[in-house]
Amino acid sequence: MAVYHLTKDNFDETIARGKSMVDFWASWCGPCKMLSPIIEAVAEKQGDAVKVCKVDIDAEPELANRFGILTIPTVIIFEDGEEVTRSIGVRPQAALEALL
């Protein structure tokens, strides 16, 4: 499954139903670059079971503010549009999947 790239225009609609994993990141962030292939691997492994998404905080500062993102990368797990848990920093694939 492909990774969804979210904006303020499609965020709520995309995560409204089911389980979603959202990676808040920036292109200049070294740890974000390290996490990116892990996020892609989670998306491939989870398939349609989980929507795996990314939010570029530089392009979407409103979303970063809305969720209180102070440190990146931050990964938030949502179920039916509600935050369930979050993880800050680079984590191995198994650790991220355990959040699901």
> Would residue 29 show up in a list of annotated catalytic residues for this protein?
yes
* Rounded Cα distance, 49 and 33, in Å: 24
Token pair for 89: 């920093």
* Inter-CA distances, 16 with 58, 60, 81, Å: 23, 18, 4
Considering the candidates 1, 26, 29, 88, report the single residue annotated as catalytic. Answer: 29
Q: Could you tell me which residues come within 8 angstroms of residue 99 by beta carbon, excluding any fewer than 6 positions away?
A: 21, 75, 77, 84, 85, 87
Determine which one of 32, 38, 43, 52 is catalytic.
32
The residue among 40, 29, 42, 35 whose CA lies nearest residue 90 is 35
Which residues are the active-site residues?
29, 32
